[in-house]
Amino acid sequence: MGESVKIMDKEFQADCENCFGLCCVALPFAASADFAMDKDAGMPCPNLKADYRCGVHSNLRKLGFRGCTVYDCLGAGQRVSQSTFEGRDWRQSPELAKLMFEVYPIMKQLHELLWYLKEALSLKAAQSIHADLQAAFEETRQLTQLSPEKLKALDVPAQRARVNELLLKTSELVRADAWRKHAGAPKKNQTYSRGADLIGAKLQKADLRCENLRGAYLIAADLRGADLRSADLIGADFRDADLSGADLTDSFFLTQAQLNAARGSAATKVPSSLVRPGHWSV
């Protein structure tokens, strides 16, 4: 099992060289702190070049396109470009454009589920449900291999609900096991509920070990020096949150996009599966 997970890693890393700039075309964005302009879904970003490269990639944040530096398709872009549509791009085959743009966000959701299931399978504390997690992984992976038409008709919310049940069980098992391993640390009650509103919260040096912060709104929260070890961070919104000096060691269900949206420092401890964002202070 461990070996198969390692082999799959590259499958969930964005490979822009093998993508037809789908995130730059299929997705809409609105003028805001993250984007310098409005763009409708299905309309190419004016910065997208003929070779599907970004013309302002090295200056995205400076030019007001911070949202682009945060986004991560988790490999969905190259999957749709090279597998689902077999290398046919939307410029040379314009009749495929609309369907391709509709399929891309669906594939992104499937890859997101696979990412979480892959991590769940790597967690020893969830060993008792590994068979169910593996079955869900294989089922979801098979869905990524469907034809464009079948992908468009796919009931993604239903699949997300099925997978989420297993992820919730994984979270409970992992957090309970982590508390048992804290020598001399008493078992504490959960402080926050799912989707907690912690926008701008003052949580400097807070003990958030093993917390359930699923879907928490941590926008612009002060998390400097906070202890987030073994916390469930699935879907937590870290936009502009200050993670300087925070410890996220062994936190789980945290994605690169979430880290990219936050601020941090050289003293911030991040999970080994992720990389320290280049825009963080040193």
Q: Which residues of the chain have pLDDT under 70?
A: 1-9, 182-190, 282
Q: What is the pLDDT at residue 6?
A: 40
Specify if 13 maps to a domain: yes
Q: What is the pLDDT at residue 181?
A: 83
Q: What is the pLDDT at residue 189?
A: 59
Report whether 226 contacts 206 (CB < 8 A).
yes
Q: Give the separation between CA 260 and CA 91, rounded to whole angstroms.
A: 31
10 and 137 fall within a common domain: yes
147 and 7 fall within a common domain: yes
Domain that holds residue 152: 2-19+73-175
Q: What is the pLDDT at residue 219?
A: 96
85 and 151 fall within a common domain: yes
Q: What is the pLDDT at residue 251?
A: 96
205 and 262 fall within a common domain: yes
Assigned token pair, 114: 């696979």
Q: What is the CATH number of the domain that holds 223?
A: 2.160.20
78 and 153 fall within a common domain: yes
Q: What is the pTM of this model?
A: 0.90
198 and 135 fall within a common domain: no
The residues, ordered by sequence, that sit 6+ positions from 219 with a Cβ below 8 Å of its Cβ are: 199, 200, 237, 238, 239, 240, 241
Q: What is the pLDDT at residue 1?
A: 33
155 and 238 fall within a common domain: no
How many domains are there within the chain? 2
80 and 149 fall within a common domain: yes
136 and 263 fall within a common domain: no
